[in-house]
Amino acid sequence: MTDAPVEEVPRAHTLPPEVAARRDAALKLVRRFGDPVLKTKAMTISRFDDELREEIRRMGRLMDDALGVGLAAPQVGISHRVLVYRVVSGGPLGVLVNPEVEWSSREDEWMEEGCLSLPGVHVD
């Protein structure tokens, strides 16, 4: 955690009403900071079946409706090591199952960051 300033950004007011309503409904399904499921190590996936594919499809739809770019299964109350993301709006859905960090750079790149579990909070 850094000492970077935390900024509240009210973004929903610039959305068309139907998009804002869909986003608000989706965000009600996302677990918020402080929820115990977000603090618990998620279970490793061992079965790659239709149930997992459906879970991934639902997560992708929810992420899109919430106007997010990434969503982890624990954020929707599922203790699985699954993450969905979309790099470009309308682009293909990316999926990581049982991800592990194998390498990281010592170089820093500063960008704005947000999280669906902390709606309205954006930091650099």
Residue 61 lies in a domain: yes
CATH code at 35? 3.90.45.10
Full residue range of the structural domain in which residue 22 is found: 12-96
More reliable by pLDDT, 35 or 3: 35
| pTM passes above 0.85 | no
pLDDT number for residue 4:
46
More reliable by pLDDT, 7 or 41: 41
**Which residue is associated with the tokens 């996936």?**
45
Strands (E) in the chain, as ranges, are 7-8, 70-72, 82-85, 94-97, 113-114, 121-123
By DSSP bridging, strand 82-85 and strand 94-97 are: antiparallel
Confidence of residue 9 (pLDDT cuts 50, 70, 90): very low
Residue 27 lies in a domain: yes
Contact 44, 84 (CB under 8 A): no
> Tens digit of pLDDT for each residue in 43-102?
999 999 999 999 999 999 999 999 999 999 999 999 999 999 999 988 999 999 999 999
Residue 106 lies in a domain: no
Q: How many domains does the chain have?
A: 1
